[in-house]
Amino acid sequence: VAPLALSQQLALEMKIIESLNESYAAVQQLRDLRAQLKALQTKLTSDPSAKAILGSIDALDKSAADLLAVEQQYPPVGIVSVASLNGALGSLLPAVDSADSAPTAQAVSAVATYRQLLDEQLAKWSALKARDLPALNALLQQRQMAMIRIQG
């Protein structure tokens, strides 16, 4: 096997692993966020004065749920989310790793496509953390409640 082919294989595997790590971290953060939102919903549901904040919680939870949506088909066709892309990348890694040769054009193309889609999803997640989450935390602060914290 030519050293160049193995070098190309390793480079593509590293791109996949980096994308898997990023998407996994985002999935864990999103799950944690949704758990915190669920706890808040439970706490505030019986409070009639919490209607506005519950609306903000519901909207943020829906956005987070969309980023976690999973389609049980790889490659993902209808649903593109951080979680579905993590699964798609995970299913692609063994295919790239299994041959001692340069990656196929299809594998290179798939990784590039998944990476672009993942970047778009991660940008949505960053926007939620930068805009929607601080807005909700401001409402929580007004009510003298603990703010939502995202680890990582």
DSSP codes joined into one string, 63-125? HHHHHH---SSSS-SS---HHHHHHHHHHHHHHHHSSSSPPPHHHHHHHHHHHHHHHHHHHHH
Q: What is the mean pLDDT of residues 81-91?
A: 91
Question: Which tens digits make up the pLDDT trace of 25-43?
Answer: 999 999 999 999 999 999 9
Would 152 be classed as within a structural domain?
no
pLDDT at 76 over 60: no
Question: Which tens digits make up the pLDDT trace of 93-133?
Answer: 999 998 889 999 999 999 999 999 999 999 999 999 999 99
Number of domains in the chain: 1
- Indicate yes or no: pTM above 0.85: yes
DSSP state of 130: I
Would 151 be classed as within a structural domain?
no
> Measured at the alpha carbon of residue 103, what is the angle toward residues 5 and 81, in degrees to the nearest 5?
145
Would 150 be classed as within a structural domain?
no
Looking at residue 81, its pLDDT comes to 92
Would 17 be classed as within a structural domain?
yes
Would 130 be classed as within a structural domain?
yes
Burial class (CB in 10 A: 0-12, 13-18, 19+), 70: middle
Domain enclosing residue 8, as ranges: 3-142
